[in-house]
Structure 1
Amino acid sequence: MKKSVLCIEDNMEIGKLIKEKLEQHGFSVQWQLSGEGTEKEVLHQDVVILDIMLPGLDGFTVGKRLKEVAPMVPILLLSARTAVHDKVDGLQFADDYVTKPFHIDELIARLEVLMRRNGDEVEESIQLGKHIEVNLNAQTVINKSTQEEIVLTGKEHRILLYLLENANQILPKEKIFETVWDEPYIHGDKTLFMHIGHLRKKLEQNPDEPEIIETFKGIGYRLKR
């Protein structure tokens, strides 16, 4: 099966080059000139090439939205910006950063590394506890005891995926909050605590004695696999 690439690039010359060369190497390429409507498209892609300087919404904004919708799909940022702070900002959500001008062979090699890494690390279906199955491709959470889908809010889903990405690790509550909400954590804020509570009610067989999402008092949380 061909690997599918979503290329978001408003420069016609660069966009045509990427599409032509990638298709010659066996990729399926969907090329868009802006980030409009890409939240739906990203769910069907294996990797994203994203230009930073776009008409309308800039690449940083588009990339963060895409990562929230499909956190398992790697994003490669493409930009003429070479400043360190731009790269640091981009790599807060993206998986790689390539500066223009670039050689198409290097771009292809980087894409292949991202997809190979993603394929090695990401399972299609993950079992949690005795009764929860998370399907990463379909983006669904199923209670296997009832065969019913568990409906999560956007933030609950993002928290769960972030915990899954770092399964069996104790994650500081500040880091979880700042990753999911993309804003600084304020000491004493109960927002994450409340969302974890809602998640437990939906996922745990006994929310008062959680077996999936553990609390480490004063530190944060750990998802057990």
Structure 2
Amino acid sequence: MNTAIKLLYIEDDLEIGSWVNEDLRKRGYEVVWLKNGDQALAEAASCQLVILDVMLPGLDGFTVGQRLKRSKADLPILMLSARSSIDDKLQGLQFADDYLTKPFHPDELAARVDVLLRRVGAHDAQPLAIKHLLVYQQENRVVDQTTGEEIMLTGKQYQIFHYLLRHLGQIMTKEQIYEAVWDEPYWDGDKTLMVHIRYLREKIEQDPANPEIIETIRGVGYRIKA
């Protein structure tokens, strides 16, 4: 999985940093993880967004964030903090674009990152590359890199594909996928999703009989590998 969207993540807590770094990579981002703010300015030059913890060794997150904004004013910054006081939030939001209090769910962090990237047009400019495909998520377009031609998907096919991409690397059950796409309860034995997956593979896989993009997890559901 390759993507040109690069995130700078600054966090000194190794346990939190490890799972956030892993989760963001599974979702298709390239991540530069720093344990302090010493190299923040240098690394930020090539990044589309910064996730910045307040409590850092040496320079605190507020100082690092202010320096980043002075250097690159249009760079989105998402502050992370275990401190929930209104004063801390107001201080952070003087320069940061969003503020998330610990503990947080990885889906919430990912959603906030996605919103900030869309706000600055990063998703529009950088398609998601997976195998031979380029996925323009904002435009709901899928292009075959080998031919340069757009792959025409039906609404349901694209919704299934987009849902799996949003949960990149994660095994999603048939129930989860069906209920997210059709917005109605799934009943065991329904073949609707399986049929849609088959037709989707015929369009996006180079060899539908041996799929490399959408993997079947027997007895559970499907996933797109990171």
What secondary structure is seen at the aligned counterpart in 1 of 2:121?
A: helix
Other-structure match for 2:116: 114
**What is the identity, as a one-letter code, of the residue corresponding to 1:77?**
M
Q: Report the counterpart of residue 68 of structure 1 in structure 2.
A: 70
In structure 1, the partner of 2:101 is 99
Deviation at residue 27 of structure 1 after TM alignment: 0.3
Match of 1:28 among 27, 30, 37: 30
Offset of residue 105 of structure 1: 0.4
Deviation at 1:37, TM superposition (A): 1.7
Residue in structure 2 matched with residue 82 of structure 1 by the alignment: 84
Deviation at 1:93, TM superposition (A): 0.1
> In the aligned structure 2, how far is the partner of 1:40 from the partner of 1:23?
21
Contact 1:77 1:98 in 2 (8 A): yes
Distance, in Å, in 1 between the alignment partners of 2:52 and 2:64 is 8
Q: What does 1:175-214 correspond to in 2, within 5 Å? A: none
**RCO higher in structure (CA 8 A, sep ≥6):** 2
CA displacement at 1:18 relative to structure 2: 0.9
C-alpha contact 1:51 1:77 (8 A) present in aligned 2: yes
Aligned length: 122
1:119 Cα deviation after fit:
1.0
Cα drift, residue 38 of structure 1: 1.0
Name the residue aligned to 2:180: none
Runs of 4 or more above 4 Å deviation: none
Q: SS of the residue aligned with 2:104?
A: coil
CA contact 1:34–1:55 (8 Å) conserved in 2:
yes
Contact conserved, 1:2 with 1:26, CA < 8 A, in 2? no
1:44-81 Cα deviation digits (max 9, x unpaired) = 00100000000000000000001111111100000001
* CA distances 1:76-128 after superposition (whole Å, capped 9, x unpaired): 000001000110010000000000000000000000000000117x99xxxxx
**Structure 1 residue 41: Cα displacement:** 1.0
1:77/1:96 contact within 8 Å kept: yes
- For 2:39 and 2:29, locate their aligned partners in 1 and report how far apart those are by CA, in whole Å: 21
Taking the TM superposition and a 5 Å limit, the aligned residue runs for 1:2-41 are 2-41=4-43
Q: Distance in 2 between matches of 1:83 and 1:24?
A: 32
Measure the CA separation in 1 of the matches of 2:121 and 2:42: 21
Whole-angstrom distance in 2 between the partners of 1:36 and 1:20: 22
Distance in 2, Cα, partners of 1:84 & 1:38: 26
What per-residue deviation string (whole Å, max 9, x for no partner) do you get for residues 121-172 of structure 1?
Answer: x99xxxxxxxxxxxxxxxxxxxxxxxxxxxxxxxxxxxxxxxxxxxxxxxxx
Amino acid at match of 1:79: S
Query: Which residues of structure 1 form unaligned runs of 5+?
Result: 124-225
Partner of 1:157: none
| Cα distance in 2, alignment partners of residues 67 and 41 from structure 1 | 13
- RMSD across aligned positions (CA): 1.6
